[in-house]
């Protein structure tokens, strides 16, 4: 890892860290943490957050990053998510220094709560949830004190101990910090620290029936772990005064919280609740549907962790709310896949070509480069060539548009790595649709060039009809056609913005080598797009490929003008 102490910080958080290091604020130490709640799957927005935390820890000596599950709400959390979250973080290429659970700190948190009660800084409140809301006031009006606010320390201690023992039903009492019911910062109007929940926790089982709220658990967990820079998203700015208040009242090690803008991408949603709705309503096939912005979905779509990391780096870290164009993500993915993937030939919309002067029944195996994008990579494979081929329907035009470079009557083009061919005849059905074309080839052009060195304008891909394998090809597009799916008019739901053609399935004719490929392998289908063999449905008997991202298509621009 590079030593960045001499490099210029790339964002305001790293700038703060550099300053703190220079001033000796935390000794020579930097400690971050990623604190997911194990109640759902990670998406690319989380990747920005944990990427930031883990990367910072890699950028110098004496730096650590913990993974801490924020499991303070037994009703919503499950072990299944714990495992999935760890798997996704590792897939992205990161490893934590320590694995912790906020629930590990329940005993310490309890002791600290008792300490606050003794200091007269916390009290048991018997008000109902509705009453607490009423007493809290509004954004513009101050709240008022609970009638239970001035209970004696002894009574609070007794009641709190009995809350812990399980003597009271859910919702009957809470422990609140005694701060200021008139504060303009609503988080400071005597926030709830503990609620009674007779629920089984995924780790502590039935040991506890009172559970700490986020604000009470989070800063103290950071303190216990010696976190120096507690990074979170902008919606917690309002919580910072409370974060600091607890640490100061407790007089314990004081980490500091810094907030940055979360990641938003056009045509995409990051709301866990809405993503869940898509899964539950069957709009997508699951959390790992290739159209989902979840890391599992993106993995199945064929995105690489490297591409996602590059994308996140390119987006940067700032304090202004923003939405990145989807195109920026696509660029990062193409850029990585371009260097990494072998090129193969697959015809998605087949049109038969008969080479009239090619011997009936003959097959030759032509040598095709696997990595033509790398001049010095000489790996090749053999692809069968025969008299009848499939080409892309788009690669033939009886009446060529301006600047067209593909097959058209009388014009010679190159079949990639094979031969030069010239269209001689067009076969049509009763409705006048082109159903087949005939051509002649030049036997001298084997391998894709001729002894006389003559040039052809176009090169197209092909597969031998006899040897082609049928493959299910899933053409994915953005899940939402609207740039901002959550922007809807009154009374409408975000689902009105769903893209009706986010998935189109076709049966393609692919070169035979693709049947044997391992699930998860990535390719460029030449002149078309990047694809990945589906991780769950692909098999040699039934090949399935998912489109990761299309190639840039400058012909589309030319053709539309």
Residues 23-62 that bind RNA (CB under 7 A): 35, 37
**Residue with smaller CB distance to RNA, 38 or 305:** 38
Element (H, E) at 332: helix 326-340
Report how far residue 195's alpha carbon sits from residue 203's, in angstroms, rounded to the nearest whole number. 18
**Cβ at position 314, least distance to RNA in Å:** 5
The answer to whether residue 316 forms part of the interface with RNA (CB under 7 A) is: yes
The answer to whether residue 375 forms part of the interface with RNA (CB under 7 A) is: no
Please confirm, yes or no, whether 406 is among the known catalytic residues: no
3-state secondary structure of 361: coil
Please confirm, yes or no, whether 262 is among the known catalytic residues: yes
**Cβ at position 483, least distance to RNA in Å:** 9
Angle ∠(267,231,294) on CA atoms, nearest 5: 30
The answer to whether residue 409 forms part of the interface with RNA (CB under 7 A) is: no
Element (H, E) at 307: helix 305-315
Please confirm, yes or no, whether 405 is among the known catalytic residues: no
Report how far residue 425's alpha carbon sits from residue 431's, in angstroms, rounded to the nearest whole number. 17
Considering only residues 485 through 544, tell me which ones interact with RNA, judged by CB under 7 A: 524, 526-527
CB count within 10 Å of CB 216 equals: 24
**Cβ at position 434, least distance to RNA in Å:** 17
Phi, psi angles (nearest 5°) of residue 548: -80, -60
Binding RNA by CB under 7 A: which of 145, 459, 499, 521? 459
Binding RNA by CB under 7 A: which of 1, 153, 318, 496? 318
**Cβ at position 554, least distance to RNA in Å:** 3
Binding RNA by CB under 7 A: which of 33, 151, 343, 522? 343
Task: Give the CA count within 13 Å in the CB-facing half-sphere of 78.
Answer: 7
Give residue 267's Cα distance to chain centre: 13
Task: Give the CA count within 13 Å in the CB-facing half-sphere of 289.
Answer: 20
Query: Which member of 262, 319, 381, 446 is catalytic?
Result: 262
Burial class (CB in 10 A: 0-12, 13-18, 19+), 4: middle
Query: Which member of 272, 274, 276, 405 is catalytic?
Result: 272
Considering only residues 170 through 209, tell me which ones interact with RNA, judged by CB under 7 A: 170-174, 184-187, 191-192, 195-196
Inter-residue contact 352 to 426 (CB < 8 Å): no
**Residue with smaller CB distance to RNA, 285 or 521:** 521
Q: Choose one: 79-87, 111-119, 455-463, 472-480; the region binding RNA (CB under 7 A).
A: 455-463
Binding RNA by CB under 7 A: which of 70, 289, 336, 511? 70
**Cβ at position 220, least distance to RNA in Å:** 13
Report DSSP letters for 227-270, one per residue. -SEEEEEGGGGGGHHHHHHHHHHHT----EEEEEPPP-BTT---
Considering only residues 213 through 252, tell me which ones interact with RNA, judged by CB under 7 A: 213-215, 218, 234-239
Binding RNA by CB under 7 A: which of 29, 121, 136, 149? 136
Considering only residues 535 through 554, tell me which ones interact with RNA, judged by CB under 7 A: 551-554
Active site residues: 37, 262, 272
């Amino acid at each position: 890892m590079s030593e960045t102490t001499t490099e210029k910080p790339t964002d305001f958080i790293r700038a703060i860290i550099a300053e703190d290091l220079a001033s000796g604020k935390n000794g020579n130490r930097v400690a971050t943490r990623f604190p997911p709640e194990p109640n759902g799957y990670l998406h690319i927005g989380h990747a920005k957050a944990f990427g930031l935390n883990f990367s910072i820890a890699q950028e110098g000596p004496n730096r650590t990053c913990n993974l801490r599950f924020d499991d303070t709400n037994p009703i919503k959390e499950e072990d299944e998510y714990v495992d999935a979250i760890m798997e996704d973080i590792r897939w992205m290429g990161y490893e934590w220094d320590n694995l912790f659970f906020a629930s590990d700190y329940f005993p310490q948190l309890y002791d600290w709560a008792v300490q606050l009660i003794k200091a007269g800084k916390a009290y048991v409140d018997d008000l109902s949830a509705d009453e607490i809301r009423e007493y809290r006031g509004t954004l513009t009006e101050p709240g008022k004190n609970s009638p239970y606010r001035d209970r004696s320390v002894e009574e609070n201690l007794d009641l709190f101990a009995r809350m812990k023992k399980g003597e009271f039903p859910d919702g009957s009492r809470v422990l609140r910090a005694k701060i200021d019911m008139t504060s303009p910062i609503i988080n400071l109007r005597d926030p709830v620290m503990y609620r009674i929940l007779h629920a089984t926790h995924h780790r502590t089982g039935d040991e506890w029936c009172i559970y700490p709220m986020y604000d009470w658990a989070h800063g103290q967990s950071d303190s216990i772990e010696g976190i120096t820079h507690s990074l979170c998203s902008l919606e917690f700015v309002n919580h910072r005064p409370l974060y600091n208040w607890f640490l100061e009242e407790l007089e314990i090690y004081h980490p500091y919280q810094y907030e940055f803008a979360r990641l938003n991408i056009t045509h995409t949603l990051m709301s866990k609740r809405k993503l869940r709705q898509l899964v539950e309503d069957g709009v997508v096939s699951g959390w790992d549907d290739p159209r989902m912005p979840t890391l599992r979905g993106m993995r199945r779509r064929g995105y690489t962790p490297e591409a996602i990391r590059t994308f996140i780096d390119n987006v940067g870290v700032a304090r202004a709310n923003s939405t990145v164009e989807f195109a920026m993500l696509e660029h990062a993915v193409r850029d990585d896949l371009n260097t990494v993937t072998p090129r193969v030939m697959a015809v998605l919309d087949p049109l038969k070509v008969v080479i009239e002067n090619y011997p009936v029944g003959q097959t030759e195996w032509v040598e095709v480069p696997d990595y033509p994008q790398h001049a010095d990579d000489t790996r090749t494979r053999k692809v069968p060539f025969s008299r009848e081929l499939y080409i892309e329907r788009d690669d033939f035009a009886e009446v060529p548009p301006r600047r067209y470079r593909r097959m058209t009557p009388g014009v010679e083009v190159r079949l990639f790595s094979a031969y030069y061919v010239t269209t001689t005849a067009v076969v049509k059905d009763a409705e006048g649709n082109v159903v087949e074309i005939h051509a002649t080839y030049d036997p001298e052009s084997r391998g894709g060039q001729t002894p006389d060195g003559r040039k052809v304008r176009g090169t197209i891909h092909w597969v031998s009809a006899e040897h082609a394998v049928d493959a299910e090809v899933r053409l994915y597009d953005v899940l939402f056609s609207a740039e901002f799916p959550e922007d809807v008019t009154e009374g409408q739901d975000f689902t009105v913005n769903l893209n009706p053609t986010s998935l189109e399935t076709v049966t393609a004719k692919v070169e035979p080598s693709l049947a044997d490929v391992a699930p998860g392998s990535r390719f460029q289908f030449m002149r078309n797009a990047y694809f990945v063999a589906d991780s769950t449905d692909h098999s040699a008997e039934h090949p399935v490929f998912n489109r990761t991202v299309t190639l840039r298509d400058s012909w589309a621009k030319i053709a539309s003008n």
